[in-house]
Amino acid sequence: MKQSIKHAVMAAGFLFASLITFAQKSADDFSGTWKTNEGKTVIISKTANGFIGEAQKGDKKFTVLDNINFHNNKWTAAIIRPKDGMVAACELLLNDNKLNLSVHKGPFSKKIIWTKQ
């Protein structure tokens, strides 16, 4: 019995530590140059109301992450697919030099990881 209590306390401690480690904060700074999983470059800049992510192809600049804001203890944004303008909701999690995007469109979801350059 003492052994199971000890294991339960240790498991709770690890869970708490992992939640603290990966907790999102309103002070997170997404600014910088990011390499997408497709090898494209996105520049995320701070705006008056949050952040915006833009990419450039030739001399044309377009928004790929819009309205990046901290709301209800999480970072959210609209991700825009440049080839057809499709918009999907996403949550962002900053983890060192990785940006984890969890994209949701209707019943579908996709995990994407970008790397800071």
**What is the predicted pLDDT for the residue at 13?**
40
To the question of pTM greater than 0.85 for the whole model, the response is no
Element (H, E) at 5: helix 2-21
74 CB-near residues (< 8 Å, 6+ apart): 24, 91
Say what the pLDDT of residue 28 is: 74
Residue type for 103, please? Answer: V
Structure tokens given for 6? 């000890």
CB atoms within 10 A of CB 99: 25
Residue-wise pLDDT for 65-100, tens only, equals 999 999 888 999 999 998 999 999 999 999 989 999
Range in 11-15, 47-51, 73-77 the model is least confident about: 11-15
Three-class DSSP category at 40 = coil
Candidate from 2-6, 40-44, 51-55 with smallest mean pLDDT: 2-6
